[in-house]
Amino acid sequence: MNILILGGGGREHALAWAIKQNPKCDRLMVAPGNAGIAQIAECADIDINSRSAVAEFCEGNAVDFVVIGPEAPLVAGVADALRHAGILCFGPSAAAARLEASKAFTKEVCDACGAPTAAWARFTDAVAAKAYIEAQGAPIVVKADGLAAGKGVVVAATVEEACAAVDEMFAGAFGDAGAEVVIEEFMAGEEASFFVLVDGTEVLPIGTAQDHKRARDGDTGPNTGGMGAYSPAPVLTAALQAQMLEQIIKPTMAEMARRGTPYQGVLYAGLMIEGGHARLVEYNVRFGDPECQVLMMRLGAQALDLMLACAEGRLHEVAVNWADDHAMTVVMAAQGYPGAYAKGSEIRGLDGLPADSWQMVFHAGTRAERAAVLADGGRVLNLTARGGTLAEARDRAYALADRIDWPEGFFRRDIGWRALRE
Ligand code: AMP
Ligand code: GLY
């Protein structure tokens, strides 16, 4: 079959790598792709947030199946347009993607179905928001309701900091995303992510992961999109996963179906675990980046069969073929990231690196220029490896990192420290 993946980051390179290994895949296209993806798939330059551009491309290229990587096309209704045109698609409708696009919507759904999460309130004016903060005290969490490229959340240590965040959001720091503000109880604990496929009714767990959001070793420095990840997450024990399915994920999915907006695609639940109990932090309606890289490393070619079963409403027919393995990915980023950084420096040392089911260099922000690979984003490469233990996966991932010659980049040396300590 002919398959199109939308997106051009490390997540999409990992998806393309896994899908390409499955004999069901004939022609693989990725829009827009990157230099690494171009080595295994045809890259197409289309506006992936345009419903008509994506649908027209699919019709013109006999695409049988579309996998949507990032949230923006989902929120823009690209999955709806494709299904309307009769094209099989992996990813939720715009109505179901509200689980990521609106934090107030998600909290409302959680309340309706009894899913445990932080206490909350929503505000459209600063005076009421600040009065609530004063009454609750700090620490407290202030969130822009809408999508803010991962920057719309302030975990405030003091009432003053929380009030300043409210002012900033209502002043338009996040545009329309901050027109409404959600204020939440601060939850202490350890964070982990749980990934499930949902076909409208059936829920199939496909793995757990933890990432490192801070830029520097020791989980210090500014917040980023993620500097590394590993799977499985030891803190999400089998018992806790079962509890999360019954208390949070299945009730949410049932509530979405009850509202007439059933969910189809991968659901990424961010959980906060404390004292053996977990509560929901947030949902994302896509794979995490870089969490997808470690999940794909572990699932390999079967990922396509699972995604097809999900899109076709036959999840009850499939099972995940688990190996007793671990995977880690280390992100190489441009110096300066997540602040200002330069593009265009050359990355050397990529030729001749091992590339197999134990170790892969996934490209995130790169572009090819003649024979050279140039940095073209903040997060640039994902050094990803698998092993019988997490330590083995880590050693392989860092062995890749040490062979790459890119003085303009940096990476953390301590990915997985928490899990490796246990
Ligand atoms: P979100 O975009 O909602 O996931 O928030 C981004 C990050 O902020 C999360 O991954 C957590 O680290 C943190 N966070 C969000 N909500 C809370 C909360 N209620 N308590 C503690 N930390 C939170
Ligand atoms: N790595 C976090 C995310 O994809 O949202």
Do residues 325 and 388 touch, judged by C-beta distance below 8 A? yes
Q: Please state, rounded to an integer, the average pLDDT across all residues of the chain.
A: 96
Give yes or no for residue 422 having a pLDDT over 80: no
Least confident of 79-83, 147-151, 223-227: 147-151
Cα 271-286-322 angle, rounded to 5 deg: 75
Domain with CATH 3.40.50.20 in the chain: 2-95
- Atom of ligand 2 at shortest range from CA of 291: 1
Domain with CATH 3.90.600.10 in the chain: 326-421
Separation of alpha carbons 415 and 422, rounded Å: 14
pLDDT, residue 279, reads 97
Do residues 89 and 66 touch, judged by C-beta distance below 8 A? yes
What mean pLDDT comes out for the span 177-189?
Answer: 94
pLDDT, residue 149, reads 79
pLDDT digits (tens, 9 = 90+) for 358-407: 999 999 999 999 999 999 999 999 999 999 999 999 999 999 999 999 99
Give yes or no for residue 77 having a pLDDT over 80: yes
* Helix/strand/coil for 161: helix
Token digits for 280? 């929901």
What mean pLDDT comes out for the span 110-136?
Answer: 96
| Residues 6+ positions from 7 with CB-CB distance below 8 Å | 15, 30, 31, 48, 68, 69, 70
Ligand nearest to the CA of 212: 2
**Ligand 1 mean position, distance from CA 153 (Å):** 7
**Ligand 1 mean position, distance from CA 16 (Å):** 30
CA 266, chain centre distance (Å) = 10
**Ligand 2 mean position, distance from CA 282 (Å):** 11
- Which residue's CA is the nearest one to ligand 2's atom 5? 288
Burial class (CB in 10 A: 0-12, 13-18, 19+), 34: buried
Separation of alpha carbons 12 and 31, rounded Å: 9
pLDDT digits (tens, 9 = 90+) for 82-107: 999 999 999 999 999 999 999 999 99
What is the architecture, at CATH level 2, of domain 2-95? 3-Layer(aba) Sandwich (3.40)
pLDDT, residue 267, reads 98
Q: Which fold has domain 119-185?
A: Dna Ligase; domain 1 (3.30.1490)
What mean pLDDT comes out for the span 54-62?
Answer: 98
Burial class (CB in 10 A: 0-12, 13-18, 19+), 313: middle
Ligand nearest to the CA of 364: 2
Residue owning tokens 């459209």: 124
Global pTM value: 0.97
pLDDT digits (tens, 9 = 90+) for 205-264: 999 999 999 999 999 999 999 999 999 999 999 999 999 999 999 999 999 999 999 999
pLDDT, residue 150, reads 74
Percent of the chain topping pLDDT 90: 95
Do residues 227 and 293 touch, judged by C-beta distance below 8 A? no
CATH of domain 326-421: 3.90.600.10
Domain with CATH 3.30.1490.20 in the chain: 119-185
pLDDT, residue 175, reads 85
Token digits for 209? 């992961």
pLDDT, residue 49, reads 98
> Confidence band (pLDDT; 50, 70, 90) for 172?
confident
pLDDT, residue 388, reads 97
pLDDT, residue 173, reads 87
According to DSSP, the β-strands at 203-211 and 228-231 are antiparallel
Burial class (CB in 10 A: 0-12, 13-18, 19+), 316: exposed
pLDDT, residue 178, reads 82
Separation of alpha carbons 276 and 279, rounded Å: 10
Token digits for 381? 């490469």
pLDDT, residue 192, reads 97
**Ligand 2 mean position, distance from CA 60 (Å):** 33
pLDDT, residue 75, reads 97
DSSP string, 289-351: TTHHHHHHHHHTTHHHHHHHHHHTT-GGG------S-EEEEEEEEETTTTS-----PEEBS-T
- Which residue's CA is the nearest one to ligand 1's atom 16? 281
pLDDT, residue 176, reads 87
Of the chain, the end-to-end C-alpha distance in Å amounts to 44
> Confidence band (pLDDT; 50, 70, 90) for 413?
very high
Amino acid at 147: L
Q: Which fold has domain 190-317?
A: D-amino Acid Aminotransferase; Chain A, domain 1 (3.30.470)
